[in-house]
Amino acid sequence: MSGLGGLNKTTGGIVIAAVQSQLFSVTTPSDLSKATHHVCDLVRQTKRAYPCTDLILFPEYCIHGLSMSTSPSLMCTLDGPEIAAFKAVCKEQAVWGVFSIMEKNELGNPWNAGVTINDAGEIADYYRKMHPWVPVEPWYPGNRGVSAFTGPGGVKMSLIICHDGMFPEMAREAAYRGAEVLLRTAGYTSPIKSSWEITNRSNAFCNLMYTVSVALAGTDGTFRSMGQAMFVHPEGHVLEQGDGTPDAIVVCEIRVEEVRRRRREWGVENNLFQFGHRGFVAVREGAQDCPYMYMKDLVKGEYKQQEDAEVAVRDGKSCGFEKPKQDFVSEME
């Protein structure tokens, strides 16, 4: 099923490489440049080792490390040298790549952004992390929603970042937008290992999609990231899985008809369809109302859990960040 770990590609399949790139300490522009060159070299290494590779997935923080610095000198732009280097290497190697940047933001704190570049060296998708890992991360919450794009081989994909994957609504939104493969990048450290596997597997099964996920690996002298690249089949079983080895390349062939057939033909557990067609055996086309209070309250701007008044951590002060002064600005219609 995995094409001998991505060594082979069959008709209708695509090969994805998830690279557990080394965690670096990045505190200067020179460090940022070195990390960028390292990632580009890993693109070349992946294509040498696995010539069939169609897309290479790099972790969140692959060039920034885990300092959580918001220094303007370390922030990237879409027309900056880091993205230019990624475009060039993808075109050179004729491969798609998914990369992570911390990006300048005119609204306030930087964005945590994921950029997908196609094999012609062009930006195919741009995503801003919706759910920063509070209170640890200072990033402005993504204001463009969940995106879906057509990747190599005509496969519909969506990218989410790290903590996003802990919210089942994120995977469901990606699937609802047509995604057949959910890509998830992370900088997670070892304490998250168990919930990482649980959510990668549940996101796959609950939406009949592949999930392909990868975190940084190794240590920067302070933090130790977990690696743990993972490919999960639409029925929730793990096809390939990495460990904690820095710069390890974990590769797998996926066959998207495994998603398409299930979504079209399944009755039992065809949950993406059945979510909006409850009880179709009893009522024509099933109930298509919204029976969920939290969804209705969220739309009205009135989301409040039962323990809301008792929640203790409501800003980033415990992690050394000042109380925010900015209001959220959305680009959603």
Rounded CA gap, 149 and 154, in Å?
Answer: 9
Distance of CA 140 to the CA centre of its chain: 17
- The C-alpha angle 174, 2, 268, rounded to 5 degrees, equals 50
Rounded CA gap, 9 and 90, in Å?
Answer: 20
Cis peptide upstream of residue 135 (ω within 30 degrees of 0):
yes
Rounded CA gap, 198 and 61, in Å?
Answer: 22
Write out the H or E segment, with its range, that includes residue 35. helix 29-49
Rounded CA gap, 21 and 13, in Å?
Answer: 25
Catalytic residue among 9, 47, 60, 62: 60
Q: Which two tokens stand for residue 67?
A: 């300092």
Which strands, in side-by-side order, build the sheet including 149-150? 149-150, 156-161, 181-186, 210-215, 230-232, 238-241
92 catalytically annotated: no
Q: Which two tokens stand for residue 119?
A: 């094999």
Q: Which residues contact 323 (CB under 8 A, 6 or more apart)?
A: 315, 316, 317
Helices (H), 178-292: 193-207, 257-265, 271-274
Please say whether the beta carbons of 156 and 179 come within 8 A. yes
60 catalytically annotated: yes
129 catalytically annotated: yes
Catalytic residue among 40, 76, 90, 162: 162
Q: Which two tokens stand for residue 100?
A: 């992570």
Catalytic residue among 9, 87, 129, 156: 129
**CB-side exposure of 55: number of CA atoms within 13 Å?**
28
| Active site amino acids | 60, 129, 162
